[in-house]
Structure 1
Amino acid sequence: MPSKKTTLLLVGTLVVLVAAGAWALLRPAASKLAAPTAVPVRVVSVAQRDVPRYVSGIGSVLSLHSVIIRPQIDGILTRLLVKEGQRVKAGDLLATLDDRSIRASLDQARAQQGESQAQLQVALVNLQRYKLLSADDGVSKQTYDQQQALVNQLKATLLGNQAAIDAAQVQLSYTQIRSPVTGRVGIRTVDEGNFLRMSDAQGLFSVTQIDPIAVEFSLPQQMLPTLQGLIGATPAAAVDAYLGADTDGQTGDLLGEGHLTLIDNQINANTGTIRAKAEFNNPGQKLWPGQLVTIKIQTALDKAALVVPPTVVQRGLDQHFVYRVTDGKVESVPVQMVYQNSDLNIIKGVQANDVLVSDGQSRLKPGSRVQILDEPPELTQATVSEQQP
């Protein structure tokens, strides 16, 4: 016969099992799993348009002609006929030197030429007379030959006198300093009354051509075939010069529009770059010699290209892809990157007007349901009143 303690243990166990069975039968039904939440995203449509391709670099503005005006003879500067900063044309008189000594030498050379001409005229008359007399043996053959030699000597003397006159005229022309180029006068280093020497390194001032003007720039050596094709095109490739580049890659103020004119004849082995030059019309003088500018050259034009913002294209393990929205869900579409810059990407693998995700891709996977958000409202700048001290 079981003991009282064993009976109590069996009864307790039975009560626990009955209670567990009752709870299992009477508990509320489990709630259904919550439906997946839609991921908020922003989208854009694939645009189709012609897109020009550009290459950019840093260039230095330089003058096509820049001349330091120096004297070609020693002398005192008597007049300065131009002011600093004045625009001059080729051939304009800029300054004059003291010419009195050279004019005296020129007059002396002309006087010697006149004397030689008179002597030559007499010698020619005597030569003609001796020629007639020699026919009748009136003078010896030796006398006739000596007179012929004298005529030749005087002719040579006359040529020497003319050469002296020409040299003096050249020296006299050096006393008038004329501009060899059309340009702008720089800061002068001398004043009227100074004694100038040909050995002076500074010169009087410089004359620099401003219009037209050139920009020299360097590009990676990989651009050489492209540059060769551009410079051989008709018309030559257009080159734009900008004041500078902003931190976000956007160009600054446009300073001029020119064309590619020259590719250097060798590549810099130290930097792996090739130098090139473009020429600009500069009537407004916005480009200035020595100025650093950003240049942009259009290298190609992609017609009817499929364009999206850079944030649309994602980088996968093996290829690029985009998320395309269809019926509230997204699918991953592999694409080919044709061209990219800071503003846009040209891709292949989608169609024009396809709706692609541009923001919120980090929470997406193929098949995810999405909620398309509107563009955020523009931020309004609050007006803050200044505190009076």
Structure 2
Amino acid sequence: MKNKDSKGGKATGAARTWLLVALAVAAIALAGWWWKGRDGATGGEGPAGAASAASGASGTARPGGGRFGRTGPQPVSVAVVQRRDLAVAIDAIGSIASANTAVVRAKVSGELKAIYFKEGQPVKAGQLLALIDPRTFEIARDQANAALARDKAQLENARADLARYRDLVAQEAAPRQQLDTQQALVRQLEATLLSDQATLDSAKLQLSYTRVTAPIAGQAGLKQADLGNTVTPSDANGILSIAQTQPAAVVFAVPDARLARIRQQLGDKQALPVQAWDRERKLKLAEGRVASTDNAIDASTGTIKVKALFDNKDGSLFPNQFVNVRLQLDTLKGVLVVPTAAVQRGAPGIFVYVVADGTVALRKLQILATDGEATAVQGELKPGDQVVTDGADRLRDGGKAEVIQVPAAGAAAGGRGRGRGPGAAASAASAASAAASGAVAASGAADGERPRWMDRVPPEMVDKLKAMSPEDRRAWMQEHRASAPAP
């Protein structure tokens, strides 16, 4: 019994020992965890405290916690109001069509013996394009010519007999019936001669069809038949096609509300200028004018088709080419013009923000016409006023604003300028705003005092951290906080 009790006591003692060891380890771990948490929470000395302080100093760096991260003037881009002429135009899409298109087909059947045109090159009306084997048609012409000569000889003989019969009848040496019969024979031969002449003319015409000529002037297309092929009038593609591209035409649709103005100007013989632009609206291809309108409005779309003609002397327009069309209906003389990006719509109605001496004023107005990036307005504006083109969503009447960019006077309401526009002004304002925010964040404190995080990092890293963006600075602090050894 003593042995069993002794063994049981030893087992119980060993279990108590392991339990005490486990409790001691847990206590040490808990103490270490508590010490780290205390150091980070109280901003004590160490990497964690330094990282937390640096992160707080470089986060948003708001001087007073204002809206949008700033309490000072709102940076904006502005443009200058101008008084000038503005075109009232309609934008549409269309495709180029040739004034006339002809598919040149063979008028007689035969072997294609020669081709005289060059594909894609201009041809003149009446120019020889191809030759069909003419031998069969030459034989038919000669046969018709021979028949005509034979019948001419018979007619001459019959007329001579008729003259003799008349003399005999006058002398009562021949019966009257024989004279009448001879007169009928002469008339019959005269009719035969007319038929022979028509046959000869038909043979000559068929022979002329073996020389294929251009029916219109224009640009030759690709050949549809090769030498040695037999061509017929029933060939669907013919021998080639010719497109008359001088002038070139474009058909496009405009709203029916514009029809009255278009018809009025056409009736008064006033030119309606039309411009053709490429797909990206960067290159002007040609200028022309309206020629006519369709005779009915499309009820399904509420539009009417308009046809414009372009001289196309340089041949830059091709049939079926897609173009952006710009039809100028009128020109407003001496109106106030602002960038379209400056026009705002809201509870007050239609308005713009005007900046003068750093103060924002709301000005209501009416829109007269819009031409791409320029808008003609009427309201409480005058030439030279600076209207906000970017950053207006953060403004209010009577607020403060800081002008970041003032475009040149020629680009203030730049119409349909290429390569610059509201996007460029927005980018400049955004860049300036970001630069201002970065400068505040880099300083580390709004009141100019030395930030606490500078004392937590090595001296050689201070300048590098100042040059970093707030995001990069926070990432650096978090990385070094995680890798720093426990105190």
Q: Which TM-score band (shorter chain)?
A: 0.7 to 0.9
For structure 2, the residue ranges without an aligned partner over 5 or more in a row are 1-70, 407-427, 433-487
User: Percent identity over the alignment?
Assistant: 37
Moved more, 300-309 or 260-269: 260-269
Secondary structure class of the residue paired with 1:231: helix
Greater displacement, 289-298 / 82-91:
82-91
- Structure 1 match to 2:344: 314
User: How far did 1:40 drift?
Assistant: 5.3
Counterpart for residue 115 of structure 1: 150
From 327, 333, 336, the counterpart of 2:366: 336
Residue 124, structure 1, aligned to residue 124, structure 2: no
**73, 76, 79: which is aligned to 2:114?**
79
Contact 2:285 2:317 in 1 (8 A): yes
Change (3 A) 1:236 1:362: closer
Query: Out of 77, 83, 97, which is 1:62 matched to?
Result: 97
Q: 1:278-332: CA deviations, max 9, x gaps?
A: 1111122211111100011111100000111223333233632334456764443
Cα deviation per residue 1:190-227 (whole Å; 9 max; x = unaligned)?
A: 22111122222122221222222111212222222232
How has the CA–CA distance of structure 1 residues 320 and 172 changed in structure 2, closer, same or farther, with 3 Å as cutoff? Answer: same
- Residue correspondence of structure 1 range 239-250 to structure 2 within 5 A: 239-245=274-280
Tell me how far 1:183 sits from its aligned partner.
Answer: 1.8
Please tell me whether the aligned partners of residues 87 and 371 of structure 2 are also in contact (alpha carbons under 8 angstroms).
Answer: no
Which residue is equivalent to 1:11?
A: none
* 1:242-289 deviation line (CA, Å, top 9, x unaligned): 1123xxxxx221111111112111222333321121111112221111
- Which residue number corresponds to residue 130 of structure 2? 95
Partner of 2:413: none
Unaligned residue ranges in structure 1 (runs of 5+): 1-35, 246-250, 381-389
What residue number does 2:82 align with?
A: 47
Confirm or deny that 1:158 pairs with 2:188: no
1:72 to 1:334, Cα distance in 2 relative to 1, 3 A = same
Structure-2 separation of matches of 1:38 and 1:59: 48
1:322–1:356: 8 Å Cα contact kept in structure 2? no
Query: How far apart are 1:234 and its partner, in Å?
Result: 3.0
> What is the CA deviation profile of residues 17-73 of structure 1, one whole-angstrom value per residue up to 9, with x for unaligned ones?
xxxxxxxxxxxxxxxxxxx96665554442100111111111111111222221111
In structure 2, distance between residues paired with 1:145 and 1:205 = 59
TM-score by length of 1: 0.80
Which residue does the alignment assign to 1:375? 405
Aligned partners of 1:41 and 1:370 also within 8 Å: no
Q: Say yes or no: does 1:347 pair with 2:358.
A: no
- CA distance in 2 between partners of 1:126 and 1:151 (Å): 9
Q: Which amino acid aligns with 1:346?
A: A
Per mean C-alpha deviation after superposition, the further-off stretch among 258-267 and 130-139 is: 130-139
What are the superposed Cα offsets for residues 99-125 of structure 1, whole Å, 9 maximum, x if unpaired? 112111111111111111111112112
State the shift of 1:354 in Å: 5.5
Q: CA separation in 2, counterparts of 1:340 and 1:236?
A: 21
Q: Provide the residue aligned with 1:263 in structure 2.
A: 293
Distance 2:118 2:72 in 1: 79
Query: Within 5 Å, which residues of 2 pair with 1:131-146?
Result: 131-146=166-181
CA distance in 2 between partners of 1:213 and 1:371 (Å): 53
Secondary structure of the structure 1 residue equivalent to 2:317: coil
Using a 3 Å threshold, how does the CA distance of structure 1 residues 67 and 327 change in structure 2: closer, same or farther? Answer: closer
1:305 paired with 2:340, answer no
Is the 8 Å Cα contact of residues 89 and 371 (structure 2) preserved in structure 1? no
Question: What one-letter code is carried by the residue in structure 2 that aligns with 1:348?
Answer: Q
- Structure (1/2) with the larger strand percentage: 1
Decide which of 212, 219, 226 is 1:191's aligned counterpart: 226
Matched residue type, 1:319: G
Q: What RMSD in Å do the two structures reach over aligned CA positions?
A: 2.5
Q: Distance in 2 between matches of 1:284 and 1:344?
A: 31
Q: 1:283 to 1:154 in 2, by over 3 A?
A: same
Does residue 105 of structure 1 match 2:140? Answer: yes
Greater displacement, 59-68 / 371-380:
371-380
Instruction: Assess if the C-alpha contact under 8 Å between 1:312 and 1:356 holds in 2.
Output: no
1:221 aligned onto 2:256:
yes
CA distance in 1, matches of 2:134, 2:267: 52
Q: Which has the higher helix share?
A: 2
